[in-house]
Amino acid sequence: MTIDPQKLLNFRIPAVRQTVTPRDAAFYALSIGMGRDPTDLAQLPFVDPLRGPVAMPGMALVLASPGFWLGHPDSGVDPVSVLHAGQSMVLLGPVPATGEVESTTRVTHIVDKGAGKAALIFTETNIRDDRGTCFACLERTIFIRGGGGFGGEGEAPRSSPVPVAEGNAGLVIDLTTGPEQALIYRLNGDLNPLHSDPAIAARAGYRMPILHGLGTMGIIVHAILRGRLGYQAERLRAVQLRFAAPVFPGETIRTEIWNNGAFRASVLERDVIVADQGFFTISQDEGDAVS
């Protein structure tokens, strides 16, 4: 169904306030599969409020989330046609495990790929702490199947080039997902039934409900944290990627990480790339410039 760009531009995405508690921080970490090894002491501060609380950097992806706002009838978008195509996360400060946070989200660009083809929607979300300081900026690319043909611009906004993943990866991290992973993850605020209802998943062409794209990204961030940072969450500065294929709950996500910050992820069971064009930046030591 061709989208109405004016409806989208006029749609008021609500600003959202959230009181973050240690329980929220622990729940997010558990929702992306942390704690599967109960003997891993490095993970305890993230999953046990009594040992932290420490927020996973990826929690910025769900804090004060406006939810599945494209599912609202006033957006003019068929919810079944919506796919998450890409995501970036820039951390300007520590992700709080407690306190008040507020998000504001806006549509920045709408791209028309042509009649019978897709439309792309680009959004930007800024998240501020209780002092009004922005600690995270999120940019999302949303793919609307069959949404093109409204006569808009056909070119996406230019993005910065990312390092190329050449040769063999320096690190390979395998993390399993559980069959209930999407059902748990959606309680972070994205209740899109594509991730819970088998009938709606079938309408979208999937054999079963799929894992949220941001759930996959959270697991990849965990792999980076584990493989490159020794769980020093404060050193992660930015992550960006393109979603290439869905993950089905129960599959194993393999993240390959290169020394230049490039990464990609695949599922072992199907040998399919699920995230590519990935790149992250870190500080060498706390307080240092981004590497």
The answer to whether residue 287 is domain-embedded is no
The answer to whether residue 290 is domain-embedded is no
pLDDT at 161 over 90: no
The answer to whether residue 289 is domain-embedded is no
Distance (Å, whole) CA 189 – CA 183: 11
- DSSP assignment of 131-188 equals TS-EEEEEEEEEEETT---SS---SPPP--------SS-SEEEEEE--TTHHHHHGGG
How does pLDDT run across 202-257, given as a tens digit for each residue? 998 999 999 999 999 999 999 999 999 999 999 999 999 999 999 999 999 999 99
CA dihedral 212, 218, 220, 223 (to 10 degrees): -140
The answer to whether residue 58 is domain-embedded is yes
The answer to whether residue 250 is domain-embedded is yes
Domain coverage including residue 160: 5-282
The answer to whether residue 291 is domain-embedded is no
Please answer whether residues 54 and 45 qualify as being in contact, where contact means their C-beta atoms are separated by less than 8 angstroms. yes
The answer to whether residue 226 is domain-embedded is yes
How does pLDDT run across 49-89, given as a tens digit for each residue? 888 899 999 999 999 999 889 988 889 898 888 889 999 99
Q: How many domains does the chain have?
A: 1
pTM score, two decimals?
A: 0.91
CATH code, 61: 3.10.129.10
Active site amino acids: 190, 195
The answer to whether residue 217 is domain-embedded is yes
